[in-house]
C-alpha cells in the first residue's frame, strides 16, 4: 500500500507581541500599538519588534528604526518588549498546539508546524481541526492566529501567511502549483533580496515564472540552491516536521528593516538581543560558556563567530561584553548590515552545577 499522504498545518500568531499587549490593556484596542525600543521623541535608538495592524496602515514594520516609526506614526502607543510575558504566553500556546499533532515543531516564539496525518482522514477534516485549534486559542488565550494547511511544510507556511490576520487557507497537493504561481518568488522561504534581484534580472518575478524555467539553467546559475528553488516552485518539499530535542542553544536575531551602517543602532540592537537571550536563560535556569555572534551583510554574506569563555556564567554583563567584542571585526563603514544575532550555548544546568556557578 502506498504511504499515506502527509497533511501539515502551520500556525502563526497574529501580530504576536502587540496582540498580547492589547489583551492585557483593552484600552489600546483600535489604536496603533508599537512594541520595541523607546522612541525618545524621535531620538530613540533601536528598532521596532512588531506593531499591530493599525500601525501597519501607517507603514510601520518590524525591524524598522524606532525613529522612523516615530516619524510615520507619532500618536501610536509605544511599549517596551516584555519578553517574559510573551514567552509565558508562547509556552501555553505551544502546549495547546502540541496535543493536536502526531509530530510537532515550534518555530520561533509564535509559529509551529503540526503533522496531523494520522489525526485526520482528509483536508476537510484538517480544516475542521484547524477551526477547533483557532477556537481553543481564542477561548483560552484571547488571541487570534492564522493557519495554513498543505501537503508539506513549505506550502503550509506560505498558506498561513496568505490571509492574515485570523486566516485559514487550505491548499491541497493538486492545487499547490496553481496556488504558488502568482506569488512573488520572495515568498519561498529563503529567497533573499540578492537572489530575488538575480532572478528578476532573468525575468523571473513570480513563483510561476520560476517553475517554468529549465532546472539545469537554474542549477548553473545558483548551484544546489537552483535545484532547491526549482523543486520549491513546483511545491515540492520533503522535509519532516521535527520534534524538538533538549534545548541546545538560545538565540535571538533581528533583520533591520533597511540595511544599515549606523553602528550605534547595530550595537544598541545587539545589547537588546543579549538582554532578551539573558531573560530566557535565567527563566530556564541555565548557565552558558559559549557566545556566538551572527552578522549578515546586505549581500546576504553571513558570518558567525564564537567565543568560549574559560568559565561558566549566567551574567548579562559577560554576554554583552563578549557579543560586543565579537562584533568589532564586522563593523566596517563600507559594509551595510542586514541582520545581527546572538546565541548562547554549551549549557550547564543551574541545579546540577550550583557550586561551580560564578555569581555576583
Ligand atoms: P512575526 O510572526 O514575524 O510577526 P507578528 O506575529 O508580529 O505579525 P504577523 O501577524 O505578521 O505574524 O514575528 C513574531 C514575533 O516575533 C513578533 O510579534 C515580534 C517578534 N519579532 C521581532 O522581535 N523582530 C523581528 O524582526 C520580527 C520579524 C519579529
Ligand atoms: Mg506572527
- Domains assigned to the chain: 1-176 (3.30.70.270), 181-233 (1.10.150.20), 249-349 (3.30.1490.100)
Residues with CB under 5 A from ligand 2 (ion): 12-13, 16, 110
The sign one gets for the Cα dihedral 96, 100, 106, 110 is negative
- Contact (Cβ atoms closer than 8 angstroms) between residue 41 and residue 20: no
Catalytic residues: 111
Interval between CA 16 and ligand 2 midpoint (Å): 5
Q: How far is CA 259 from CA 55, 276, 327, in A?
A: 22, 22, 16
Using CA positions, which residue lies closest to atom 24 of ligand 1?
Answer: 49
Global pTM value = 0.76
234 Cβ partners below 8 Å, 6+ apart? 176, 177, 211
Using CA positions, which residue lies closest to atom 15 of ligand 1?
Answer: 16
Q: Is 16 in the pocket of ligand 1 (CB under 6 A)?
A: yes
Quote the DSSP letter at residue 333.
Answer: T
Residue 283's nearest CA partner among 36, 106, 88, 49 is: 88
From first to last of its 360 residues, the chain has per-residue pLDDT tens of 567 899 999 999 999 999 999 999 999 999 999 999 999 999 998 999 999 999 999 999 999 999 999 999 999 999 999 988 998 999 999 999 999 999 999 888 899 999 999 999 999 999 999 999 999 999 999 999 999 999 999 999 999 999 999 999 999 999 999 999 999 999 997 777 788 999 999 999 999 999 999 999 999 998 888 999 999 999 999 999 988 766 788 999 999 999 999 999 999 999 999 999 999 898 878 889 999 999 999 988 999 999 999 888 999 999 999 999 999 999 999 999 999 999 999 887 654 433 333 332
- 93: enclosing H helix or E strand: helix 83-98
Would you put residue 106 in left (φ > 0), alpha (ψ -120 to 50) or beta? beta
3-state secondary structure of 198: helix
290 Cβ partners below 8 Å, 6+ apart? 306, 307, 308, 309, 344, 345, 346
Residue 160's nearest CA partner among 228, 79, 97, 253 is: 97
Amino acid at each position: 500500500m502506498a504511504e499515506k499522504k502527509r497533511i501539515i498545518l502551520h500556525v502563526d500568531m497574529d501580530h504576536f507581541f502587540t496582540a498580547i499587549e492589547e489583551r492585557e490593556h483593552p484600552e489600546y484596542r483600535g489604536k496603533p500599538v508599537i512594541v520595541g525600543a523607546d522612541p525618545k521623541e524621535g531620538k530613540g535608538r533601536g528598532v521596532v519588534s512588531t506593531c499591530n495592524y493599525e500601525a501597519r496602515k501607517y507603514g510601520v514594520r518590524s525591524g524598522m528604526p524606532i525613529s522612523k516609526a516615530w516619524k510615520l506614526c507619532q500618536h501610536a502607543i509605544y511599549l517596551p518588549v516584555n519578553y517574559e510575558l510573551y514567552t509565558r504566553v508562547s509556552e501555553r500556546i505551544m502546549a495547546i498546539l502540541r496535543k493536536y499533532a502526531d509530530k510537532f515543531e515550534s518555530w520561533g516564539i509564535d509559529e509551529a508546524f503540526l503533522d496531523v496525518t494520522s489525526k485526520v482522514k482528509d483536508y476537510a477534516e484538517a480544516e475542521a481541526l484547524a477551526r477547533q485549534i483557532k477556537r481553543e486559542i481564542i477561548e483560552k488565550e484571547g488571541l487570534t492566529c492564522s493557519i495554513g494547511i498543505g501537503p508539506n511544510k513549505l506550502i503550509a507556511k506560505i498558506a498561513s501567511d496568505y490571509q492574515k490576520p485570523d486566516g485559514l487557507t487550505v491548499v491541497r497537493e493538486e492545487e499547490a502549483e496553481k496556488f504558488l504561481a502568482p506569488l512573488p518568488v520572495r515568498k519561498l522561504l529563503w529567497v533573499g533580496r540578492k537572489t530575488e534581484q538575480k532572478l528578476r534580472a532573468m525575468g523571473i518575478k513570480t513563483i510561476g515564472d520560476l517553475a517554468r524555467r529549465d532546472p539545469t539553467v537554474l542549477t548553473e546559475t545558483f548551484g544546489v540552491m537552483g535545484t532547491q528553488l526549482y523543486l520549491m516552485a513546483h511545491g515540492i518539499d520533503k522535509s519532516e516536521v521535527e520534534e524538538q530535542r533538549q534545548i541546545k542553544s538560545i538565540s535571538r536575531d533581528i533583520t533591520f528593516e533597511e540595511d544599515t551602517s549606523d553602528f550605534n543602532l547595530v550595537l544598541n540592537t545587539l545589547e537588546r538581543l543579549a538582554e532578551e537571550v539573558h531573560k530566557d536563560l535565567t527563566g530556564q535556569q541555565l548557565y552558558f560558556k559559549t557566545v556566538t555572534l551572527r552578522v549578515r551583510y546586505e549581500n546576504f554574506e553571513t558570518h558567525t563567530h564564537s567565543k568560549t569563555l574559560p568559565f561558566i556564567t549566567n551574567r548579562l554583563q559577560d554576554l554583552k561584553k563578549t557579543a560586543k567584542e565579537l562584533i568589532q571585526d564586522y563593523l566596517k563603514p563600507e559594509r551595510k548590515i542586514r541582520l545581527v544575532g546572538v546565541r548562547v550555548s554549551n549549557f550547564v544546568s543551574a541545579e546540577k552545577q550550583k557550586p561551580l556557578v560564578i555569581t555576583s
